[in-house]
Amino acid sequence: MEPESRIRVALERNPYDVIIGSGQLARVGDALSALQVRAGTRILVVSNPDVADHYAAQCLSSLEAAGLKPVLLTIDAGEEQKTLDTLRIILDAAQHNGLERTSLMLALGGGVVGDMTGFAAACWLRGIRVIQVPTTLLAMVDASIGGKTGVNHPCGKNLIGAFHQPSLVMIDPLTLRTLPAREFRAGMAEVIKYGVIGDPELFERLEQAEDLSDPGRMTPELLQTILERSAQAKAAVVAADEREGGRRAILNYGHTFGHVVETLTGYGTWLHGEAVAIGMATVGQLAVNKGLWTDSDQQRQLTLIQKAGLPTAWPSLNIDKVLDTLRSDKKVRHGQLRFVLPDAIGSVLISDQIRDDDVRQCLTSQH
Amino acid sequence: MEPESRIRVALERNPYDVIIGSGQLARVGDALSALQVRAGTRILVVSNPDVADHYAAQCLSSLEAAGLKPVLLTIDAGEEQKTLDTLRIILDAAQHNGLERTSLMLALGGGVVGDMTGFAAACWLRGIRVIQVPTTLLAMVDASIGGKTGVNHPCGKNLIGAFHQPSLVMIDPLTLRTLPAREFRAGMAEVIKYGVIGDPELFERLEQAEDLSDPGRMTPELLQTILERSAQAKAAVVAADEREGGRRAILNYGHTFGHVVETLTGYGTWLHGEAVAIGMATVGQLAVNKGLWTDSDQQRQLTLIQKAGLPTAWPSLNIDKVLDTLRSDKKVRHGQLRFVLPDAIGSVLISDQIRDDDVRQCLTSQH
């Protein structure tokens, strides 16, 4: 049996573990038994068709072997299906399968499955437990940890949702084998983010790696390191600031411009991670313009992003629409824009000193 | 100026006040200023057309006088509109009016408006603050306090929702003047409930009152006493058990059978409070059958319920459907029915010892 890593998300009220290791998917039933989930408990396993084809059987038999009663629901889970309508499908399945307060939901899939299953679990009977079993790199290093759940509003991403912490996160790197290459690379954007915002060692390790765009060319050790350090970073920030009042906001590095890209190009043009890559490149340039960090650090960031096969160029977008969209972002306070800006590799600050003109200048100079 | 009562809901994380007094509606703006809500803050005031006709102007001008920026949304708010579709209307209005994380929602109306506005506030940007300004007796003594929010699923009441505590509850008895008599009486069911589950003095005070079915025939002092003691009872139970793990369950006295009546007769046949009245009468008989309380106490309860103009007779319903519905109730644990049963005036116990046969016998003997 492969060794496993356990990372504790040390929340005051509902602490939980992130378990990382090859082959963990086959042990999810045992892990739930270890959490005192009692035999006979109903579990609504939510997945999307592709992931279910590869991994549902293994997951369900592990749960059944532990005496649990899983039932599988597959949903279409692109970003454009992340809506109240799909939420309703999960809630209907919860009703149909008789989920009680002691029942569980389990999200087996990427970020969209995780966000919607988490939100459904938050709403069903005013909250039942949820287990996150992410199968994409993006969900492993980011979305599955921290309890942010939700769906999109036609006018913006993740405007509707809840904070609902999982009871357990199970990460099995073997599931990355079947992940499309483009999605793997998109996940690397968040890994690079952890380097920039607080982990210069991780950043350097990534710089030294031969390849960052294909898991088949990465050593299992590098992959395990990436997953562990990312989970540690996320867990530490979440534990320090569960509801994003302060420190948790640094996790939004690259996301403010990223959301603009996703919103204005329409969901589906860019993957979330690709939009974040563009957002990091852009906000890095903004930091350079403001004299906060150096050209050479921005260059190191751009090189790393490109090495992971990710885009860095700001797309052609109407600047007024960009500013409108920035202002409709849920991180806005009393109409004042806020940005997470890098000031070194491994360090960021939060600023509400960025004016519209700074944004205009930065974005127009990118073309 | 009339005197006001303040009752503290002493939660660990988000304590708040319930303010009770004639004329409070005109002081809601001042109360928000006292809570440090800053000038310029946007407030989505959600109400239904009838209530808005009577009270929206007063509420909005009080908010505006305090420098706040209210905007009114009226929704149809019968129990049959308490759905995800209506939730979506509120969320769309939140988006349309640019509600940020520091913005507020304010529910001005009965339980349905309060539940849906509270749930919308819980979901919008993963949670913004909500103020409850109940205008029905039922909402004043029950729904507005405690943070239970939600909507109905086609297969059951309140199956979808969140725990989301208000930042303030403002109760103005003057708004009861325009409440339809039937709705006032329905609210009295919850008041009687507080007597049975823990406040024998309130129960006796109600027994001594000349009339319980018409607020016009009740003294302002009796009305104030009813509102205060009910709010105190609710606040105490909620503070002891925010999420209904244990003690809060006693608030469900009469509600288990009540939900069955509401579900199987279709929303709209009986008002919630009327169904609770039937539920209390029925579960009281069950307690007598099980030898837990006396015939004479059950008789006192029936007399009081009838004095308030409320029904007590169990309707004609298919017994198998009743049992199915009981089992689909969200209070069920591992398939075992749970009931809150009275054992004295002012005392209840929670039992999972009630078998299907007990229910069958109790319900069939009612005809």
Out of B88, B101, B158, name the one closest to residue A84 (CB).
Answer: B88
Do B162 and B199 lie in a common domain? Answer: no
Average pLDDT, chain B: 92
Q: B178, B197, B222 — which closes off a domain?
A: B178
DSSP B79: G
Residue B12 has pLDDT above 80, yes or no: yes
> What percent of chain B is modeled with pLDDT above 90?
80
B251 Cβ under 8 Å from any chain A Cβ: no
Q: Cite the beta strand spans of chain B per DSSP E.
A: 5-9, 16-20, 42-47, 69-74, 104-109, 129-134, 148-153, 156-163, 168-171, 339-344, 347-351
Tell which B residues from 107 to 126 touch A, by Cβ distance under 8 Å.
122-126
Do B136 and B58 lie in a common domain? Answer: yes
A88 Cβ under 8 Å from any chain B Cβ: yes
* CA atoms of A337 and A324, how far apart (whole Å): 11
Q: How many domains does chain A have?
A: 2
Give the closest-approach CA distance of A41 to chain B in angstroms. 8
* CA atoms of A162 and A115, how far apart (whole Å): 9
A246 Cβ under 8 Å from any chain B Cβ: no
Distances (CA, A) of B130 to B28, B31, B32: 13, 13, 11
A127 Cβ under 8 Å from any chain B Cβ: yes
DSSP states of B172-232 as a string? -GGGGGGS-HHHHHHHHHHHHHHHHHH-HHHHHHHHH-S-SS-GGGS-HHHHHHHHHHHHH
* CA atoms of B28 and B21, how far apart (whole Å): 12
Do B336 and B238 lie in a common domain? Answer: yes
Residue B335, pLDDT score: 65
Q: Residue by residue, what is the 3-state secondary structure of chain A? A: CCCCEEEEECCCCCCEEEEECCCHHHHHHHHHHHCCCCCCCEEEEEECHHHHHHHHHHHHHHHHHCCCEEEEEECCCCHHHCCHHHHHHHHHHHHHCCCCCCCEEEEEECHHHHHHHHHHHHHECCCCEEEEEECCHHHHHHHCCCCEEEEEECCEEEEEEEECCCCEEEECHHHHHHCCHHHHHHHHHHHHHHHHHHCHHHHHHHHHCCCCCCHHHCCHHHHHHHHHHHHHHHHHHHHHCCCCCCHHHHHHCCHHHHHHHHHHHCCCCCCHHHHHHHHHHHHHHHHHHCCCCCHHHHHHHHHHHHHCCCCCCCCCCCHHHHHHHHHHCCCCECCECCEEEEEECCEEEEECCCCHHHHHHHHHCCC
Enclosing H/E stretch for B324 = helix B319-328
Residue A162, pLDDT score: 96
Identity of the residue numbered A212: L
Q: Select from A148, A135, A233, A147 the least CA-distant residue to A184.
A: A135
* CA atoms of A153 and A83, how far apart (whole Å): 7
Q: Is B149 left (phi over 0), alpha (psi -120 to 50) or beta?
A: beta
Chain A residues touching residue B159 (CB < 8 angstroms) = 91, 95, 124-125
Categorize the per-residue pLDDT at B315 as very low, low, confident or very high, splitting at 50, 70 and 90: very high
* CA atoms of B206 and B190, how far apart (whole Å): 12
Distances (CA, A) of A232 to A195, A260, A305, A367: 12, 28, 21, 37
Using one digit for the tens of pLDDT, what is the confidence trace for B98-148? 999 999 999 999 999 999 999 999 999 999 999 999 999 999 999 999 999
Residue A239 token pair? 């534990």
Residue B332 has pLDDT above 90, yes or no: no
| CB of B90 closer than 8 Å to CB of B118 | no
A98 Cβ under 8 Å from any chain B Cβ: yes
Do B186 and B272 lie in a common domain? Answer: yes
Closest-CA residue of B relative to A100 is B330
Residues of A that are catalytic: 126, 148, 190, 234, 244, 248, 252, 255, 259, 272
Residue A268, pLDDT score: 72
Sheet order of strands, A168-171 included: A5-9, A16-20, A168-171, A129-134, A104-109, A42-47, A69-74
Chain B residues touching residue A101 (CB < 8 angstroms) = 330-333
- Name B69's bridge partners: B42
Out of B163, B243, B334, name the one closest to residue A102 (CB).
Answer: B334
Identity of the residue numbered B57: A
Out of A40, A161, A334, name the one closest to residue B126 (CB).
Answer: A161
Chain B residues touching residue A38 (CB < 8 angstroms) = 334
Residue B366 has pLDDT above 70, yes or no: no
CATH (domain of A286): 1.20.1090.10
A102 Cβ under 8 Å from any chain B Cβ: yes
Give the closest-approach CA distance of A266 to chain B in angstroms. 18
Q: A139, A161, A178 — which closes off a domain?
A: A178
Give the closest-approach CA distance of B323 to chain A in angstroms. 14
Residue A234 burial by CB count (10 A; 0-12/13-18/19+): exposed, middle or buried?
buried
Categorize the per-residue pLDDT at B246 as very low, low, confident or very high, splitting at 50, 70 and 90: low
Do B231 and B215 lie in a common domain? Answer: yes
Residue B328 burial by CB count (10 A; 0-12/13-18/19+): exposed, middle or buried?
middle
A216 Cβ under 8 Å from any chain B Cβ: no
DSSP B314: P
Using one digit for the tens of pLDDT, what is the confidence trace for B273-301? 999 999 999 999 999 999 999 999 999 99
* CA atoms of B119 and A161, how far apart (whole Å): 10
Task: Give the total residue count for chain A.
Answer: 367
Rg of chain A on CA atoms, in Å: 20
Phi then psi dihedrals of residue A228, to 5 deg: -65, -50
Q: A178, A213, A234 — which closes off a domain?
A: A178
Residues of B that are catalytic: 126, 148, 190, 234, 244, 248, 252, 255, 259, 272
* CA atoms of A178 and A175, how far apart (whole Å): 6
Q: Select from A300, A297, A291, A301 the least CA-distant residue to A354.
A: A291
Residue B72, pLDDT score: 98
Residue A63 token pair? 């749960």
| CB of B43 closer than 8 Å to CB of B68 | yes
CATH (domain of A68): 3.40.50.1970
Chain B residues touching residue A92 (CB < 8 angstroms) = 153
Do A51 and A132 lie in a common domain? Answer: yes
Residue B92, pLDDT score: 97
- Pairing of the two strands A104-109 and A42-47: parallel
Do A251 and A274 lie in a common domain? Answer: yes
Residue A204 token pair? 């350097």
Do B174 and B190 lie in a common domain? Answer: no
Give the closest-approach CA distance of A86 to chain B in angstroms. 12
- Name B18's bridge partners: B7, B169
Give the closest-approach CA distance of A120 to chain B in angstroms. 9
Q: What is the largest CA-CA distance in chain A?
A: 61
Phi then psi dihedrals of residue B124, to 5 deg: -70, 120
pLDDT tens for chain A, 367 residues: list them.
466 899 999 998 889 999 999 999 999 999 999 999 999 999 999 999 999 999 999 999 999 999 999 999 999 988 889 999 999 999 999 999 999 999 999 999 999 999 999 999 999 999 999 999 999 999 999 999 999 999 999 888 889 999 999 999 999 999 999 999 999 999 999 999 999 999 999 999 999 999 998 888 888 899 999 999 999 999 998 888 766 666 788 999 999 999 999 889 976 789 989 999 999 999 999 999 999 999 999 999 999 999 999 999 999 999 999 999 998 775 666 667 889 999 999 999 999 899 999 999 999 876 5
Residue B109 burial by CB count (10 A; 0-12/13-18/19+): exposed, middle or buried?
buried
Do B247 and B126 lie in a common domain? Answer: no
Do A219 and A264 lie in a common domain? Answer: yes
Q: Count CB neighbours of A139 within 10 A.
A: 26
Chain A residues touching residue B123 (CB < 8 angstroms) = 150, 160-162
Do B169 and B202 lie in a common domain? Answer: no
Do B171 and B185 lie in a common domain? Answer: no
Rg of chain B on CA atoms, in Å: 20
For B76, the 3-state DSSP assignment is: coil
The domain containing residue A70 runs over which residues? 5-178
- A26-30, B53-57, B105-109, B155-159: least confident range: B155-159
> Quick check: A98 and B334 CB within 8 A?
no
Q: Is A274 left (phi over 0), alpha (psi -120 to 50) or beta?
A: alpha
Out of B100, B158, B161, name the one closest to residue A332 (CB).
Answer: B100
Residue B166 token pair? 């208000």
